[in-house]
Amino acid sequence: EVMGSLFKVNSEDEFIKWAAKKGDKFLLAEKADGCTIVAYYEQGKLVTLATRGDGVTGEDITTNARYFENVRLKLPIAFSGTLRGEGIIYSDRFEQHFAPLGMANPRNAASGKARDTKNPELKRYITVKWFDVLTNDRTFATWEEKFSFIENLDLEPIPYRKELSSKEVWKVYEEYVKHSRKKLNYWIDGLVCRISNM
């Protein structure tokens, strides 16, 4: 599965024009800024954990999986498929444990530590927030179903809001720009709007 880039909009007019062609209900989620991580499970057991790499070929980091705060080596159900998420380091943890080591920011620290073969004690500060699930075992009619399924796997999805109209999406976006983003304890580099209907 190729992990490509997202289409970006920078104004309300651009967004409304895009949304008008796509539907009337949307799911809005934070776009966490860290290290993109892909997890492959077979019958509920973690087989491979990898970075996004160049979008086609990732780097195998399975040996680090047991250190990350909330990556499950075994899921509560016999799920076979792929999960995609973002490995982040909370800002307060970065200031306490990584900044004193001369690391520049939480994004670089997450990316470096996720792939590092040393310092297991620092890897436990990486938290993964999941944003997609792919499987041949079942079909999903909406993005809401995907996010609910992630929660049913006892995993933490990226914060999201569902069943929003295009006007509500833009209102939430403006709220993030003015207030919400600066209150977060982790970095985001925007919001991702998905057409609810798969």
Distances (CA, A) of 33 to 90, 141, 152: 11, 28, 24
Rounded Cα–Cα distance for residues 107 and 187 (Å) = 7
Residue 185: which residues within 8 A CB-CB, separation 6 or more?
A: 90, 91, 92
Catalytic, 31? Answer yes
Number of separate helices (H) and strands (E) present in the chain? 7, 7
Rounded Cα–Cα distance for residues 174 and 166 (Å) = 13
**Which residues, listed in sequence order, are joined to residue 45 by a DSSP beta bridge?**
42, 74
- Mapped onto helix, strand or coil, the DSSP state of residue 64 is helix
Q: Residues 8, 21, 22, 31: which is the catalytic one?
A: 31
Please give the structure tokens belonging to residue 8. Answer: 């970006």
Residue 87: which residues within 8 A CB-CB, separation 6 or more?
A: 34, 35, 36, 37, 68, 110, 111, 114, 126, 127, 128
Active site residues: 31
